[in-house]
């Protein structure tokens, strides 16, 4: 749907309040009235968009449980995907948008917490516990704070949208160092 894409662009670039529906319509190549055939009003358009935008994130999150190789490899592949497909792209702006508008749209913060954050953290915690059981991770208190595992990814997202211009950040290299801290220095075959 062209409208959804157009609205996403505008909301990401200007935030909720400063986005004009005239601009969304123009970008989508429809008349303003058409928007109201699909959405009740600006606010529900915004909320539905954020929800929609998350569907791909969610499917990634609940993706492959790592039966095969080491937990570290699984986490590393996961993080690479996340950074390449989210932190370095338009989708990262969605996360920034949620941080920006969340407090003013409790419904969005709630939804995001329920559907993404709590599930994602639970998944991370499971991974961490598995790694501890296997002896890949020593620090067993890490399972209490799965946020620590993903913190650099969040920071990468923020960095890209605010400071990439001033100082580009090699998010993947950073994340590998982070994993070295957690799993111990990688064995150089």
Partner DNA sequence: TGACAATGACTGACCAGTCAGTCATATATT
Partner DNA sequence: AATATATGACTGACTGGTCAGTCATTGTCA
Choose, by CB under 7 A, the member of 5, 9, 27, 36 that binds DNA.
Answer: 36
Number of residues that bind a second copy (CB under 8 A): 49
Q: Does 21 bind DNA (CB under 7 A)?
A: yes
Choose, by CB under 8 A, the member of 109, 126, 132, 172 that binds a second copy.
Answer: 109
Q: Does 19 bind DNA (CB under 7 A)?
A: yes
Distance CA 74, CA 99 (A): 27
Distance CA 139, CA 144 (A): 10
Considering CB distances under 5 to 8 angstroms, the limit depending on partner class, which of DNA, a second copy, none binds residue 37? Answer: DNA
Q: How many CB atoms lie within 10 A of CB 56?
A: 12
Give the pair of three-digit tokens for residue 152: 């650099």
Number of residues that bind DNA (CB under 7 A): 15
Query: CB-based burial of residue 29 (10 Å sphere; 0-12 exposed, 13-18 middle, 19+ buried)?
Result: exposed
Give the pair of three-digit tokens for residue 79: 């993080």
Q: Which stretch binds a second copy (CB under 8 A): 23-31, 50-58, 60-68, 135-143?
A: 135-143
């Amino acid at each position: 749907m062209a409208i959804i894409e157009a609205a996403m662009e505008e909301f990401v670039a200007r935030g909720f309040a400063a986005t004009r529906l005239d601009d969304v319509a123009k970008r989508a190549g429809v008349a303003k009235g058409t928007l109201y055939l699909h959405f009740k009003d600006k606010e529900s358009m915004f909320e539905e968009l954020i929800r929609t935008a998350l569907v791909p994130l969610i499917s990634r999150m609940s993706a492959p449980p790592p039966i095969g190789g080491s937990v570290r490899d699984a986490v590393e592949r996961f993080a690479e995907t996340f950074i390449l497909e989210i932190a370095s792209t338009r989708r990262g702006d969605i996360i920034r948008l949620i941080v920006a508008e969340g407090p003013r749209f409790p419904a969005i913060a709630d939804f995001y917490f329920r559907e993404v954050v709590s599930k994602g953290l639970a998944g991370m915690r499971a991974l961490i516990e598995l790694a501890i059981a296997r002896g890949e991770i020593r620090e067993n208190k890490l399972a209490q704070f799965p946020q620590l595992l993903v913190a650099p990814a969040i920071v990468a997202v923020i960095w890209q949208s605010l400071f990439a211009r001033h100082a580009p950040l090699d998010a993947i290299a950073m994340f590998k160092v982070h994993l070295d801290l957690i799993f111990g220095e990688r064995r150089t075959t």
